[in-house]
Structure 1
């Protein structure tokens, strides 16, 4: 089977691709597959795993029309191929008594997508691209890939805050000050659209290990304000030894932090200066 991943030639623009991907998922995927059978011939036909299938088709289409193919595009394809493969594995176990061809089609798709995933993983294993090295570090604990990522960070070559957040988590085990600095950098680089409240908990955990109870509370409270997480207020107060006066002040700062991150003005906020002064 030919690998549906890399070298393609086309005169279509990425703008057209983006417009196409914004259409109705089912109709759009069908249209794309009719025009580009090479990126769909190993996929199943029915409506199961609709989202995963659509995302994979979209990532393959971008890869097909992007010349040269970027590591970030291949990384996206790896992620979507993994998700599709896991979904179709489950779907392949559903037996259709009246339509056995559907079951067979899903089993076939699972086998072919597993093969495509394995081939793409091998193809990208030695890459020096940050996204692909990050993938192999996270998926296979590849130490050579990890060193590539950390070296790129030292050279300030990483602008993907999701990768930086994972590096910050990694530093928690070895260097708390680096973890703190990296998490703060993540907050500073984040926007209203890409911020993840879980990063606040990562930074809170770092401050807890640094014995900074006030910031542990502040960041945990901000996370609560930005999510639906349930919490024991008694345990929250215990973080700061039951100091209700301090709690009142920290609650205000946590609200300011949540607002700044949620509205996208954290880089110019006073709460940023407070956190970075510590």
Structure 2
């Protein structure tokens, strides 16, 4: 029987039970990656994530793990692109090492992307369309619409990104379905709330727009683009009585967070 991992993990391990693999073990699985992408004071979180997903690919060779590694590469490259620009007055080699790590990461990313180009995995199909505008990949992805494979919140959101400029009403249904598929306690994508609010606003359905703006505000109160003044201007412009709408918004967010959301009629 598989043993239960201790609640408090050693500091040499990555956080999270799914990440309980030591850095040394990851480097043993692929020694060259730890040479190519060396340890640095910057981007350590992104490097650990990259090493973990590279290790998982070495263990499973599964397409979903390759997709996660590609995402980890993007996050590391984005972080190191900034870090590599920093000059060190006394330690010029720091910048050189960071540039080398960045270039090596970009090379590995390109190679992995090329190696996954023919995959039929839904995540990878969407990745190749969204990053490289691969029309064949998108055609294969949309052909999976209605299949069990796409019955996850994330993949429904990917599908919605394809339809949002083509068919807003259909997009709305897909986004609602993604929320229906969201399990309790899952990390929520605030862009779903933004998209729903924007679609309702374009349809001149201002009560629904306000409800989803409020859901977004409740979920992400520090969003600088959604200030209290902006909300108040929207209320005044459309003459909304918000007491009931606020109650609906609060209940909606709670249902989503608890995995009990049901798509409304629209």
The TM tier, using the shorter chain, reads 0.7 to 0.9
Q: Does 1:48 align with 2:42?
A: yes
Offset of 1:98 from its aligned partner?
Answer: 3.2
Q: Any conservation in 2 of the 1:39–1:61 contact (CA below 8 Å)?
A: no
Q: Any conservation in 2 of the 1:218–1:254 contact (CA below 8 Å)?
A: yes
2:202 equivalent among 192, 199, 209: 209
d(CA) in 1 for partners of 2:211, 2:192: 13
**Equivalent residue, structure 1, for 2:239:** 242
Question: Secondary structure at 1:153's aligned position in 2?
Answer: coil
**Equivalent residue, structure 1, for 2:191:** 198
Unmatched 5+ stretches in structure 1: 1-12
Q: In structure 2, do the counterparts of structure 1 residues 158 and 85 end up closer, same or farther at CA, with 3 Å as the change threshold?
A: same
1:252 equivalent among 231, 239, 247: 247
Q: Does 1:221 align with 2:214?
A: yes
**Equivalent residue, structure 2, for 1:169:** 161
The worse-fitting range, judged by mean Cα deviation, of 111-120 and 101-110 is 101-110
Aligned residues: 250
**Equivalent residue, structure 2, for 1:63:** 57
The worse-fitting range, judged by mean Cα deviation, of 155-164 and 217-226 is 155-164
Offset of 1:54 from its aligned partner?
Answer: 0.7
Offset of 1:196 from its aligned partner?
Answer: 2.1
The worse-fitting range, judged by mean Cα deviation, of 125-134 and 160-169 is 160-169
RMSD of aligned Cα (Å): 2.7
Offset of 1:36 from its aligned partner?
Answer: 4.7
Q: In structure 2, do the counterparts of structure 1 residues 242 and 40 end up closer, same or farther at CA, with 3 Å as the change threshold?
A: same
Q: Any conservation in 2 of the 1:200–1:222 contact (CA below 8 Å)?
A: yes
Q: In structure 2, do the counterparts of structure 1 residues 177 and 35 end up closer, same or farther at CA, with 3 Å as the change threshold?
A: closer
d(CA) in 2 for partners of 1:199, 1:31: 38
